[in-house]
Structure 1
Amino acid sequence: MDRLNRFARRIPTWPLYLGALIPPAWYFYAGVSGQLGVDPVKAMEHKIGLLGLQVLIASLCITPLRRYAGLNLIKFRRALGLIAFFYIVLHLLVWIVLDVQIPSQIIADIYKRPYITIGMAAFVLMIPLAATSYNAAIRRLGRNWRRLHWLVYPAVVLGGVHFVMLRKGWQLEPLLYLGGIALLLVLRLPSAARKRSRGVIPQQSRG
């Protein structure tokens, strides 16, 4: 594990950002070339949204991996969070620009369809997280930066609920995602309680 951690410290974060461009580019190409079925816009919308949820869940795995397995990937957490936000923005843009297209219908859907309302709430919660994920904001906010970034937890839960409701009925795949999110949050509880009792504010990655 020490060798893995030393190797991880030598890996820069910028390849993650470049690699993040590949999946949506592929989905767009597959859509225009007829490889995404009879409704390529819906398929692209769902695939990119699921990718955003997957990357957001991956960012939540970093702390349990360090705590329980000794694998320190903390330097990649910010990149994963920003990539997840990027995918969710693309998911939203595909829905607005390519799917619904009509502004009045978009507003009506947000108010009338609960799964869209919940998904939009998750997106809104992620906006301040993405907007403050740079070193100057971390320094300026100080202790409040940590408190602000607790918004990731309700955001990911809402994202999981959005996925469950989107699939309609009790399908196994979205329930597994929601269960995984719940497990990751439970794994954080004992340590979070100890830190609050000690008044400790953990250091955040600046990588």
Structure 2
Amino acid sequence: MITDRVNQIARRVPNWLVYILGISPAGWFLYLGLTGGLGAEPIKSLEHELGEFALKLLIAGLCITPLRKHLGVNLIKFRRAIGVLAFTYVFSHLLVWLVLDVQIVSQIWADILKRPYITVGMVGFVLMIPLVVTSNNLSVRKLGVRWRKLHKLTYGIAFVGALHFVMVAKGIQIEPISYMLVVIGLLALRVPKKTLPLQR
């Protein structure tokens, strides 16, 4: 079966390869920025590309459980790598905004407080910190069941990330709304179905 073949291939793929492939686009975006390939506003474009790719990785992470549950495709071994990469891109997105875009410390704090889309983005970033800190085997052993509960923050983070993208767009645009709908759909798949009582 195709599913068995996919699972066999996945088992042979080392996690380090996922990290290399996952971080490669960041280098490409940086190259485009330095060579004029990101248009007239390279800093804004770099900021956008990094943020959008982070959202794609969050969505990829949300896909893993439904793929296993509904299609039998087991990519669970890559979930940690995808999560760490998503945080890396979010952090890079934030750094570009802080260091290259705003630059003025007082303005940064003012923007966080006064601009809702930035406030939402910062909430998502802060929520990711405990997840990346506990993305190791020691934390899994120490926290036990609490680790699983903690990492359910991923659902909220993905939603907040999609909301941030919609708010940044400032108006009805197909791309950010499409991301939001995908995230909502993937979250809806996780809602437990109520079983109807048997009729006698």
TM-score normalised over the length of structure 1: 0.91
Pairs within 5 Å for 1:19-168: 19-168=21-170
2:4 counterpart letter in structure 1: D
C-alpha distance in structure 1 between counterparts of 2:109 and 2:182, whole Å: 31
2:139 counterpart letter in structure 1: A
1:10, distance to aligned residue in structure 2 (A): 1.4
1:32, distance to aligned residue in structure 2 (A): 1.3
1:117 counterpart letter in structure 2: T
1:21, distance to aligned residue in structure 2 (A): 2.5
C-alpha distance in structure 2 between counterparts of 1:3 and 1:20, whole Å: 23
2:126 counterpart letter in structure 1: V
Percentage of matched positions with identical amino acids:
54
TM-score normalised over the length of structure 2: 0.94
Report the more deviating stretch, 57-66 or 28-37: 28-37
- Of 165, 173, 176 in structure 1, the residue corresponding to residue 175 of structure 2 is 173
**Aligned residues, how many?**
193
Give the aligned partner of residue 182 of structure 1. Answer: 184
Write out per-residue CA displacement over residues 17-68 of structure 1, whole angstroms, 9 at most, x where no aligned residue: 1122211111111111111111000000000000000001100000001111
C-alpha RMSD of the superposition: 1.2
Runs of 4+ more than 2 Å apart: none
Report the more deviating stretch, 141-150 or 15-24: 15-24
1:169 counterpart letter in structure 2: G
